[in-house]
Chains A and B, each alone.
Chain A
């Protein structure tokens, strides 16, 4: 479990905090989407959680271990895949893997076997002796993932991992995330493309300009503040509007009535209106996407 509590990061006092008082948690067996626009503070939050950046305030605990004060033990329980993997330029993948393995106390033949196995699992079999810096973007992410899995950590931090991947790569990582959830791992998945996290996340944390706006479950997301119901009728009168007023907020444009904020079943409305004696020429229902909801949240925040 990964717990972020009151996290604040100030790079420069002149430009204000990059993130401020960010708090949420990622439970075991849960995938939490971490969404926000570019520069919202997602990467900063994840880098602090990964132990590669220091917080200015607040704390991150990994399975109860403080990432700053108990760095060594906490880091054993973390796997981090950054958006742009960066590693030693001239090293072969297998050598780098064995070097990283040394930090987990895995040495010699054991390290070699573990490295080869993980490189194979991540689809890098046959290219182990190539310089990792010569890998494609997708291969680099797979390599970093393999390195992250050296200690079979309980917690994963994925920062924009689907960015820049080909369809096969996206498919691989999507399946991986599902698999990790099944294995009861805690996964924090950041993205600025909301549709990427929509179908994968159990909860979504929205961040904007360094501040956490909201954390919502998948159920809450599916029953957002209602959709928009549009009807075209032969007659629009007060009796009809009184009824539609009980469902949401109706507005009239000639023979078209738009009811916003409706959260029920559109077919039930259709049946009721016909039963009331009206002729329905057209009925449509549209729910806002996560993206629209996020934009709405941003608008409210501003």
Chain B
């Protein structure tokens, strides 16, 4: 029998690998029916743009501000402004390091009726936002030079210091692009009409182009009531007012369907237990053989030490990947049976790809550990330790790390720390892929590229996790008994 196939069969039929496979399937059988038609919140889109137009003799002067879900500036984002009238106007610009971009659109002829569309294209993701500019023809003849229009943009963003909270976001411009000198007010009322300014609660002053503020919604507030936000000048002139149900302020997210929920759940389940399967496979077929001396019965054959290691590595990775694919297919059947919709092919392929990276990395790591352990007990202990630290208890350890660094939970810094540590932990690779896929981290909307999560960095990281541990193991095995 071909030794490679023999080792694949041995890894695939090892009791530990089969047990983890069965566990994932049985667990999915129990949980997926509960998902049923349930829905959960998904964060809002990530890249947004606010703008303000000031009419000048040379045309429309537009100041754009491109920001992420925290209201923070996004640099290098391409803005493509084109007129609806073909050939009339088209210009491309990019946001600077402060998230601003500036553009001048010459006035069209008096009798030309046209509109402008600004397309926001982030360089590292495909999020696109269209912006409709007012037709200049409607303003010709009544141009009020130097006055911004709209004077401000109101919105909601995640609080950078506590992303479970929603902040009011304000982009405001004073006359002639000066900094604004306004104030923001709010009021919760049952009326679907803006209250008078005198009845509203001052929230904060707005003296920069971009600002944000948090509104404490009383716990007894009726979710159906309206939250009114008003931006007014220092002399009490209302510039802009917006009202929306309190519920929508507290939860503005669209919904995740059952299929997406099943995918998310299943990714997490696989991400948790497939590394365990890899550890068990690597222990059963290589680590134990090496520590107990069984491997010597193979080493005496016409094969090099590197050859044995590579052969077993390929066998185990192939066998555990095969076991994972079979598990995914079986669970897919369960999902299809329960919610009448199979898991998406993209999800399946991406899951298999990212889990392959995790499998390869963990097998390689166990191979390295095997070179330094002298007993099966020590090797099993190391394997369990790796599983606990890098996988099962990772979230807990991450929380401890966040606490130790003094960073607030849910803050941007905490999220960044979580992502950075995920890059150095192979069991979190599928998590990185999920972040890229859903543009969300721990339920918080983010722009993955701002955290270094892009297709390119993921491919590079995956390649490193596949190659580095096994190459290191090969290097070690060539110089150790």
Contact = CB atoms under 8 A, between A and B. Distances in A.
Are A and B physically bound partners? yes
Interface stretch (B122-130, B141-149, B295-303, B464-472): B295-303
Contacts of B298: 100, 103
17 contacts: A51-B299, A51-B300, A71-B302, A72-B303, A73-B302, A75-B302, A86-B294, A87-B294, A87-B297, A88-B294, A99-B6, A102-B1, A102-B2, A102-B6, A107-B1, A144-B297, A147-B297
Nearest to A97: B1
A39 to B, nearest CB: 17
Nearest to A112: B1
B300 A88 contact: no
Nearest to B14: A90
Interface in B1-33: 1-3, 6, 10
B479 interface: yes
A108 B158 CA distance: 65
A256 to B, nearest CB: 56
Contacts of B268: none
Contacts of A88: 10, 289, 294, 297
A101 B479 CA distance: 27
A75 B481 contact: no
B481 A54 contact: yes
A80 to B, nearest CB: 5
Contacts of A87: 294, 297
Contact of B301 (A75, A95, A107, A144): A75
A78 interface: yes
A7 to B, nearest CB: 14
B85 interface: no
Contact of B296 (A86, A99, A100, A104): A86
B477 to A, nearest CB: 10
A141 to B, nearest CB: 13
B301 A86 contact: no
Contacts of B300: 50-52, 75, 78, 80, 148
A111 to B, nearest CB: 7
B3 A103 contact: yes
A131 interface: no
Contacts of B304: 71-72
A143 B300 CA distance: 15
Contacts of A147: 297
A86 B293 contact: yes
Contacts of B294: 86-89
A99 B1 contact: yes
Contacts of A73: 302
A51 to B, nearest CB: 6
Interface in A19-57: 47, 50-54
Interface in B291-319: 292-294, 296-305, 307
B6 A52 contact: no
Nearest to B15: A90
A14 B292 CA distance: 24
